[in-house]
Structure formats: C-alpha cells, structure tokens
Amino acid sequence: MMLPRGQTLLLPANPAFVWGSLVAALAVQMAQGQLTAAPWLPDWMALTLVFWTIHQPLRIGVGVAFVAGLLVDVHQGVLLGQHALAYTIMGYLAVALHRRVPWFGLRGQTLHVLPLFLVATAVQALVRWLAGHGEPPLALALAPVLTALLWAPATWVLLAPQRRAPDPDETRPL
C-alpha cells in the first residue's frame, strides 16, 4: 500500500482507544452543554466521529454516528433525531471521503472536513426551524469553522497512540 508523501507508517488503531475517545468526546460535549448554551462552540462529538469515520470506516460509520446523535439529542433535550440525522449525513459524507482526505496535509484535510461540519450544522438548524423553533442565531455559523480549526490538534492527539516509537534496530524492515 502506498502512503502519502511524508506520512509515516502507523500501528493499527486500538479499538479500546477508538471507543474511549468517542466516549470522551461525548463527555466533553455534555460538559460543554452544562456550562453554557453558546451556539458558537465547537461540536466535539462531530469532530471525533468524522475523524474515526475517515480513519477507521469499517469500525466507526453511519450507525455509530446515528447512535451518538441520539445520545446528544437526549442529553441536550432537543428534538429527538436532530443530531442523529445531522451526524448520520455527516458520517455518510465522511465515509465517501475516507480514501481522499488522508492524502492531503492538515490544511487540505481541514478544508475537506469543513463542508461536513457545515452540512451537519445546516441540517440541525433546518430541523429546528421546521419544528418551529425560529431562525437560528447568526453565531451558529461560527461553530463549524471552530470545529474544523480543531482538526489539526485532534489529528495529532488521536493519532498519537498509533505512531511508532523510533527504533534504533536497523535490521528490522519496519
């Protein structure tokens, strides 16, 4: 298998770490919702879901995105299915891009995932508007941009356990 230029060979993702990072993202999302209801804050669950859907599409996909969306809906007390629909569409689009995104640098990856976060936010706003909750606040447009800006640090943190330690043994092929 060819690797993108400058990318090192990674160890396989530990399933416990993948699921643990999703639980941690859900916890951060829930804590953020308890502290403030500011619409411009980043969506940690969406960020983590898109990351693992791109990097582990056989393990994390549309079904996991749907269940995670339901959990966020129940916790936030919003219309049931609002986040589930948005995360499902976002997960589908992430699976569609999972072969393309890793070939780009972090800036290119950020530009590729930004539309996914924009679509998810637009779907949530549309569902709330159709349910009669009025027009969404203008600050809501800042949330997907902030979420996309967190892509580079999230990539560094979530890929850290998969990076190989420098091995001075020159006789090993890997």
Chain centroid, CA 10 distance in Å? 20
State pLDDT tens for residues 92-139. Answer: 999 999 999 999 999 999 999 999 999 999 999 999 999 988 888 888
User: How is the chain split into domains, by residue range?
Assistant: 15-162
Contacts of 138 (CB under 8 A, 6+ apart): none
- What confidence score (pLDDT) does residue 33 get? 75
